[in-house]
């Protein structure tokens, strides 16, 4: 009897707790929904709604005076700003114009008759020793702009397109969907052009009084050297065979400032080893963006994935080797699909500091002390003869070096034999010169020790790569365990490197290597 009573009490208590929890979750969900509606209502508030809640009589007198003056000068500001926008955005539109569109010009451009209103102000005190304050004004604008683009397509169709500030396209007297693909092309063109024209780092200087304002102009602050090394495990976009990947890199998405790599056919692990340079206007806010595409021939290339890195994360004068995971969208990162990764070497050099940094991407970096002396001597000659002398010297002298590679050992290799062992050996390949060398076979071990040194003559160290592949030796066949790929950037900087390198394509395993670079100077025969 006592057992049944205890069971009844326990069952009743459990049901009560479940009911209470369910009711609590319902109340909590209702409160969240109510809060979301409240937040959404505040987000939809206009300047007029704000004035109803907080009438102007509660504004500070100086803020009311400022709004009155702004309303008076708005017609003149509208005219000047419209011309400024037209002059600055139209050239940018031409740079972004896709192949299907022949021209894009503003038919109408006015910011409307409703002036913005100052609705708040905040004062920020400077923490520097010099003191000072910064005044930040809050502006709300429920404007009525009228922007019409006259767009001529290569199909012979002329479209007057009305463009609202919320980026909604409207065709005046027509239907944009009648021409396949034209809507997306126009939308992307306008968005890219406007974003590049009005977002930082862009500075528009409007002189109010006559004078020299050149010190306010935005100037480049440095150079970003990028070596696109390789990509690994890319998502396959082809139904038959493998993708034909190429990469697109930029700091600013202007067509003439974007760099494109060569296409590597039929592979998901392309090796590019290409070098690019970019001008940096603001290292604290700009990013380097990388997009990897699959080349579809006559059709538009298909995006495999993209990635970006903030320039503020780079230490000036120091080469950074990074591996970035590719995603579908840099803004909305909800895609969990594995799209592969891309490997880069980055070096940021601010202007005015080049002499204090060792830049392995600089063509003069590989010069020996003798050749640098020759270059210094020719620099003292007259400017008229300088190019002639340098060209003659370059035709007589080749700069190259010797790369010594010591394969010391490997650790924690995966078992590939039936008995849980392996018979590993290493094949070393220089990608550009195609020079090869092979270590001996280490029998029945997952932690082999070779301690074997090879010397390679390298004539173009900046564009050379070293590939080390670990194989398992069997009498009937050889099985690849993994590989590691590296540029010579690090050994060029440091002269000598000893480190452990992870094996790609293997479940586990590392290679212990020692690399040494010895520059040489070789004279050609006359």
pLDDT at 182 over 60: no
* Share above pLDDT 90 across residues of the chain, in percent, rounded to a whole number: 29
Indicate the range of 28-37, 217-226, 381-390, 419-428 predicted with least confidence.
381-390
Confidence at residue 384, expressed as pLDDT on a 0 to 100 scale? 36
- Look up the pTM and report it: 0.61
By CB atoms closer than 10 A (0-12, 13-18, 19+), residue 288 is: buried
Q: Which residue has the higher pLDDT, 397 or 1?
A: 1
Interacting residues of 473 by C-beta distance below 8 A, sequence separation 6+: 423, 424, 425, 441
Confidence at residue 171, expressed as pLDDT on a 0 to 100 scale? 46
pLDDT at 17 over 70: yes
Q: How many CB atoms lie within 10 A of CB 48?
A: 10
The mean pLDDT value for 5-10 works out to 74
Confidence at residue 98, expressed as pLDDT on a 0 to 100 scale? 65
CA distance linking residue 111 with residue 145, whole number of Å: 4
Indicate the range of 25-39, 171-185, 395-409, 416-430 predicted with least confidence.
171-185
Confidence at residue 386, expressed as pLDDT on a 0 to 100 scale? 33
DSSP secondary-structure letter at 98?
-
Q: Which residue has the higher pLDDT, 507 or 126?
A: 507
Indicate the range of 19-33, 218-232, 385-399 predicted with least confidence.
385-399
As assigned by CATH, the class of the 401-519 domain is mainly beta
CA distance linking residue 119 with residue 63, whole number of Å: 8
Interacting residues of 250 by C-beta distance below 8 A, sequence separation 6+: 257, 258, 259, 278, 288, 289
Return the closest-CA partner of residue 114 out of 145, 69, 82.
145
Q: Is the dihedral of CA 185, 189, 192, 195 positive or negative?
A: negative
Residues 117 and 67 sit within 8 Å (Cβ to Cβ): yes
Model confidence at 91, pLDDT cuts 50, 70, 90, reads: confident
Model confidence at 397, pLDDT cuts 50, 70, 90, reads: very low
Q: Which residue has the higher pLDDT, 166 or 130?
A: 130
Confidence at residue 140, expressed as pLDDT on a 0 to 100 scale? 77
Indicate the range of 4-13, 161-170, 259-268 predicted with least confidence.
161-170
Structure tokens at 303: 């995006």
Confidence at residue 307, expressed as pLDDT on a 0 to 100 scale? 94
Q: Which residue has the higher pLDDT, 360 or 217?
A: 217
Q: Which residue has the higher pLDDT, 240 or 429?
A: 429
Confidence at residue 139, expressed as pLDDT on a 0 to 100 scale? 77
Interacting residues of 315 by C-beta distance below 8 A, sequence separation 6+: 348
Q: Which residue has the higher pLDDT, 236 or 208?
A: 236
Return the closest-CA partner of residue 232 out of 262, 270, 264.
270
Question: For 222-350, which CATH superfamily applies?
Answer: C2 domain (2.60.40.150)
Q: Which residue has the higher pLDDT, 511 or 196?
A: 511
Model confidence at 481, pLDDT cuts 50, 70, 90, reads: very high
Confidence at residue 45, expressed as pLDDT on a 0 to 100 scale? 64
The most confident of the ranges 99-113, 187-201, 342-356 is 342-356
């Amino acid at each position: 009897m006592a057992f049944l009573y205890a069971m009844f009490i326990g069952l009743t208590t459990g049901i009560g707790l479940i009911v209470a929890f369910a009711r609590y979750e319902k109340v909590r969900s209702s409160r969240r929904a109510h809060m979301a509606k409240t937040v959404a209502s505040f987000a939809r508030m206009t300047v007029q709604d704000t004035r109803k809640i907080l009438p102007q009589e509660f504004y500070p007198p100086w803020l009311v005076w400022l709004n009155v003056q702004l309303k008076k000068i708005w017609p003149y500001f509208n005219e000047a700003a419209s011309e400024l926008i037209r002059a600055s955005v139209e050239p940018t539109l031409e740079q972004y114009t896709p192949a299907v569109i022949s021209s894009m010009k503003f038919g109408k451009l006015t910011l409307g008759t409703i002036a913005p209103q100052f609705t708040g102000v905040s004062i920020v005190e400077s923490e520097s020793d010099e003191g000072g304050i910064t005044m930040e004004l809050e502006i709300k604008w429920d404007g009525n702009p009228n922007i019409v683009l006259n767009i001529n397509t290569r199909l012979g169709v002329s479209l007057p397109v009305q463009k609202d500030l919320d980026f909604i396209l409207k065709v005046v007297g027509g239907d944009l969907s009648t021409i396949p693909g034209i809507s997306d092309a126009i939308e992307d063109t306008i968005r890219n052009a406007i974003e590049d024209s009005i977002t930082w780092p862009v500075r528009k200087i409007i002189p109010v009084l006559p004078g020299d304002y050149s010190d306010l102009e935005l100037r480049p602050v440095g150079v970003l050297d990028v070596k696109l090394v390789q990509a690994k495990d890319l998502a396959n976009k082809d139904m038959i065979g493998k993708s034909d990947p190429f990469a697109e890199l930029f700091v600013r998405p202007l067509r003439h400032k974007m760099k494109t790599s060569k296409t590597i056919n039929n592979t998901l692990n392309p090796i590019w080893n290409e070098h690019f340079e970019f001008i940096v206007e603001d290292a604290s806010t700009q990013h380097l963006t990388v997009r990897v595409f699959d080349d579809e021939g006559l059709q538009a290339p298909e995006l495999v994935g993209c990635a970006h890195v903030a320039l503020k994360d780079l230490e000036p004068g120091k080469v950074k080797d990074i591996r970035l995971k590719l995603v579908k969208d840099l803004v909305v990162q909800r895609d969990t699909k594995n799209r592969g990764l891309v490997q880069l070497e980055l070096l940021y050099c601010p202007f005015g500091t080049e002499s204090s940094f060792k830049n392995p991407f600089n063509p003069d970096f590989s010069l020996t002390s003798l050749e640098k002396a020759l270059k210094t001597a020719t620099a003292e000659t007259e400017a008229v003869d300088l190019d002639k002398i340098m060209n003659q010297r370059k035709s007589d002298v080749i700069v190259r070096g010797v790369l010594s590679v010591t394969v010391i050992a490997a650790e924690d290799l995966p078992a590939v034999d039936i008995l849980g062992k392996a018979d590993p050996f290493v094949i070393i390949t220089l990608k550009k010169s195609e020079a090869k060398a092979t270590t001996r076979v280490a029998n029945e071990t997952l932690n082999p020790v070779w301690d074997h040194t090879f010397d390679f003559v390298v004539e173009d160290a900046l564009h050379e790569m070293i590939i080390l592949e670990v194989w398992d030796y069997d009498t009937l066949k050889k099985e690849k365990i993994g590989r590691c790929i590296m540029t010579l950037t690090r050994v060029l900087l440091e002269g000598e490197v000893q480190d452990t390198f992870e094996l790609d394509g293997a479940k586990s395993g590392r290679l212990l290597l020692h690399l040494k670079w010895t520059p040489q100077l070789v004279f050609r025969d006359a």
